[in-house]
Amino acid sequence: MNAFLAGNSLMRGLYCWLAANQGNAQECSPGWQPGMAARDGLLPAGWEWLAFAVTASVAAFLVLNLFLLLAMFYTYLERRLIGRFQVRIGPNRTGPWGLLQPVADAIKLLTKESIIPDGADRWLFNLAPIAMVVTMFMVLAVLPFGEGTFIADINVGLLFLIAVTSVNALAVFMAGVASGNRYAMFGGVRAVAQLISYEVPMVLSVVGVLLLAGSLSLVDIVNAQRVPFLLLQPLGFFIFVVGASAEMNRPPFDTLEAESEIVAGYHTEYSGMKFGYFWLAEYSAVLTTSGVIATLFLNGWQGPLLPSHVWFLLKVFGLAFVFIWVRSTLPRVRIDQTMAFAWKFLLPLGLLNIFVTAAEILVLGQPQGEGRVFSTGGLWLMAGINVTVTIGSVAVFSRLVSLRTPALPVPAAHLSRVEAR
């Protein structure tokens, strides 16, 4: 019952204030020794479930709202930065430096009519944006935002994360098919192909991290990073970042909503706040994904001098900046090339990464208990080997793998007859 309190400073205070008693004294009363009387909370013994429910709701409320504020700021940041990348100014009319632009956008979206097309499947059509947003927020449940700051540290955290983010594909497909619009259908069908394909290399890339950390819990993974896994797993980092941008429909893999091809893809028919939900989910996906990358590869909240939360935010926004940068620079990859990239390029690299990492753990790690530990020198040696392997394998694969696909052969009879000069 009290396992969730371990190391969780976000929820401990309120819970203990409500329900401290002899049973959870180890967590709630500082300096408590067996035999001593424990602090007494407001609620009598046997009502811990209520305290838990209240605490969890409050924590979820806080985290969600703070996160939404951050997402709001992030939309502002993205528009502003893209403005700078595109030699223009960006939004600067609403509030100081245009900071209230997200508020104005939200008001606009809320006051717009929400249109449901005639040909749409009403249930699916209305459910899709909710499914999209909810799954996006579920990621927050396991993400450690700072030292001891998380909602739940479950021992299958990473698995939960992968499971929850893949529901996204279902939501997008629902939206695409339910709209009764052909562009939306294109978007939905592309979504199924692309999102499911990119799950595979993404999960493979994380296996290296798991091998090194020896745990699926995100808190344990952060604590296991004496050296940031970015250095130990550069190939895994690369695959994960690329796969994540495909999962989030970020350019250059934004084929599901490719504006120049299929108008807005799966959310072509959405308006008002339902469109706003997709928009929100898409933008907050950048933040949550950046958070996951920071946790898995960049030491999570750890860092010198500054408080852990600040470090975490810095890393998140640093990564978000990279995503914005990529978005404003690169052209889009065609859908079949996107698929070829996942299956021909990222998948073998992911397998190679697992193989190399496992071999290194066998050779360099000293057995201790159930797992293996590494000396600092061993870790640096491993980093050196892995960086070399990454550069070499990416170079070799980009020579070997061609993403170009020819056109479907067309019988000459269907083309205009051309006479020689």
Partner 1 sequence: MIRPIPGEELARRIQDACPGAVERWAGLDLWVRPERVLEVCQHLKSDSGLGFNLLNSISAVDYVEHFEVVYHLTSTSHLHSAVLKARVFGREDPTLPSVVGLWQGADYQEREIWDLMGVRFEGHPNLKRILLWEGYPGHPLRRDYLEAPR
Partner 2 sequence: MTTGLGLSAAPPGERYKRLLPGAMSMRSEPVTVNVGPQHPSTHGVFRLRVTFDGEIILDVEPIFGYLHRGSEKLAEERTYTQVITLTDRLDYVASMTNNQAYVLAAEKLAGLRPPERAMYLRVIAAELQRIASHLMATGFLLNDLGAFATPLMYCFREREKILDLFEMLCGARITLSYMRVGGVFQDAPEDFWPALRKFLKEMPGYIDEYEALLVENEILVTRTRGVSVLTVDHALNASVTGPMLRASGFPWDLRVVDPYEVYDRVRFDVPVGKAGDNYDRFKIRLDEMRQSLRIVEQCVEQIEPGPVRAESPALLRPPAGDAYARIEGPKGELGFYLVSDGSIAPYRFKLRAPSFINLTVLRDLVIGWKLADMIVTLGSIDINMGEVDR
Which residues are near partner 1 by CB under 8 A? 416-419, 421
* Residues 297 and 233 sit within 8 Å (Cβ to Cβ): yes
d(CA 376, CA 381): 9
* Closest distance of CB 421 from partner 1, Å: 5
* Closest CB to partner 1 among residues 118, 419: 419
Should residue 1 be labelled a site residue for partner 2 when binding is judged by CB under 8 A?
A: no
d(CA 292, CA 140): 10
Q: Quick one: which segment of 59-67, 124-132, 197-205, 406-414 binds partner 2 (CB under 8 A)?
A: 406-414
* Closest CB to partner 2 among residues 331, 367: 331
What would the two tokens of residue 108 be?
Answer: 């606009």
Helical pair 48-85 and 9-19, crossing angle rounded to 10 deg: 150
Among 328, 343, 347, 348, binds partner 2 (CB under 8 A): 328
* Residues 72 and 286 sit within 8 Å (Cβ to Cβ): no
Residue 407's binding partner among partner 2, partner 1, none (Cβ under 5 to 8 angstroms by kind) is partner 2
What would the two tokens of residue 177 be?
Answer: 């098919």
Should residue 334 be labelled a site residue for partner 2 when binding is judged by CB under 8 A?
A: yes
Should residue 26 be labelled a site residue for partner 2 when binding is judged by CB under 8 A?
A: no
* Closest distance of CB 418 from partner 1, Å: 7
d(CA 16, CA 138): 25
List CB contacts of 401: < 8 A, sequence separation 6 or more: 340, 344, 345
Should residue 304 be labelled a site residue for partner 2 when binding is judged by CB under 8 A?
A: no
d(CA 258, CA 264): 6
* Residues 19 and 47 sit within 8 Å (Cβ to Cβ): yes
What would the two tokens of residue 392 be?
Answer: 């070499």
* Closest distance of CB 350 from partner 2, Å: 21
* Closest distance of CB 401 from partner 1, Å: 38
Q: How many CB atoms lie within 10 A of CB 62?
A: 12
Q: Quick one: which segment of 172-180, 228-236, 328-336, 347-355 binds partner 2 (CB under 8 A)?
A: 328-336
Restricted to residues 50-109, the positions that interact with partner 2 (CB under 8 A) are 82, 85-88
* Closest CB to partner 2 among residues 235, 339: 339
* Closest CB to partner 1 among residues 404, 421: 421
CA–CA distances in Å: residue 160 to residues 30, 156, 166, 366: 32, 6, 10, 30
Q: How many CB atoms lie within 10 A of CB 283?
A: 19
Give the chain's end-to-end CA distance (angstroms, integer). Answer: 85
Among 67, 173, 183, 283, binds partner 2 (CB under 8 A): 183
Restricted to residues 153-182, the positions that interact with partner 2 (CB under 8 A) are 182
Should residue 336 be labelled a site residue for partner 2 when binding is judged by CB under 8 A?
A: yes
What would the two tokens of residue 342 be?
Answer: 């996942």
The DSSP bridge partners found for residue 372 are 367
* Closest distance of CB 410 from partner 1, Å: 16
Q: Quick one: which segment of 150-158, 237-245, 260-268, 347-355 binds partner 2 (CB under 8 A)?
A: 260-268
* Closest CB to partner 1 among residues 305, 418: 418
* Closest distance of CB 407 from partner 1, Å: 19
* Closest distance of CB 116 from partner 2, Å: 20
* Residues 183 and 331 sit within 8 Å (Cβ to Cβ): no
d(CA 288, CA 218): 14
Query: Interface with partner 2 by CB under 8 A: which residues?
Result: 82, 85-88, 182-183, 186, 189, 251-252, 254-255, 258-263, 327-337, 403-404, 406-411, 414-416, 418-421
